[in-house]
Amino acid sequence: MIYTNSMPQIEISPSILSADFANIESELNSISNADWAHIDVMDYHFVPNLTFGGPVVERYIKVNPIKSDVHLMIENPDRWAIDYAQMGADSVTFHNLAVSAPVRLARVLRKIGCKAAIALRPAEPVEPLFDILDEFDMVLIMTVEPGFGGQKFLEHQMPKVRRLRNFITKNNLNTNIQVDGGITSKNVHLAAESGANVFVAGSAVFLASDPAKEISAIRQNASDAYQD
Ligand code: DX5
Ligand code: ZN
């Protein structure tokens, strides 16, 4: 079993990438039983897609009734990530391949009261992060190539999640492991039993007829996978 100490807290973070951007306030209210709203910032450079930047995210954070989990898929997060923390994001994730000084950036974010997280694309190994893991509140293991919602979950990322959970447990750390991409209530057990505890789901939640019900199902199925 991967959990030798206490089991990590399950958190659900629906990605608003699949929400109706023209009605974002009511969309955010439809996921109020989630822990976080996951806000994907893309810049047409780090990923081949463009979403929104500072002024729009600032409004989203203001009208969001739950915590804001900002996922930056942008170049030069060393320059831009701090703006999102200062506008009230509760957590900011930047990509390992885009950042120059991850430890320095994480320390600045944490100093202003924001959680700091680092993300890995599917082809990146997790082991290089081990020596600096306590600098981060969370590691995001991408389970699709970042850039678009609605892609298929990459199950071959699960051994990486498992190696990270084993390291965290062995070293008594409390780093969260987030998975993002292709997660649904039907496959969340695969990520949960590998050791992930923060689950992002975009299309599965926002394209469901009842988003709150899908959130509950994801939470329940992840929890069941922990008991098995
Ligand atoms: C992809 C984004 C994800 C995406 C998830 O680059 O980071 O957050 O919106 O959407 P689904 O759950 O549809 O894969
Ligand atoms: Zn994301």
pTM for this model (two decimals): 0.97
CA of 13 to the centre of ligand 2 (A): 9
In angstroms, the CA 148 to CA 15 distance is 11
CA of 39 to the centre of ligand 1 (A): 10
Q: What is the mean pLDDT of the chain?
A: 96
**Is 90 tagged catalytic?**
no
**Measured from the CB, is residue 11 less than 6 Å from ligand 1?**
no
107-118 average pLDDT score? 98
Give 52's DSSP letter: -
29-43 average pLDDT score? 98
Closest residue by Cα to atom 7, ligand 1, is 146
35-50 average pLDDT score? 98
Ligand positioned closest to the Cα atom of 121:
1
CA of 153 to the centre of ligand 1 (A): 10
The pLDDT score that the predictor gives to residue 12 is: 98
In angstroms, the CA 181 to CA 156 distance is 13
In angstroms, the CA 179 to CA 158 distance is 10
- Residue from 20, 35, 40, 78 carrying the catalytic annotation: 40
- Tens-digit pLDDT profile for residues 45-71: 999 999 999 999 999 999 999 999 999
Q: For the chain, which domains are there?
A: 11-227 (3.20.20.70)
The pLDDT score that the predictor gives to residue 5 is: 55
**Measured from the CB, is residue 181 less than 6 Å from ligand 1?**
yes
CA of 223 to the centre of ligand 2 (A): 22
Using the predicted structure, report yes or no on whether residue 1 has a pLDDT greater than 60: no
Ligand positioned closest to the Cα atom of 49:
1
Tokens of 142: 């991408």
Phi and psi at residue 8, to the nearest 5°: -70, 155
**Is 40 tagged catalytic?**
yes
Tokens of 96: 């390992």
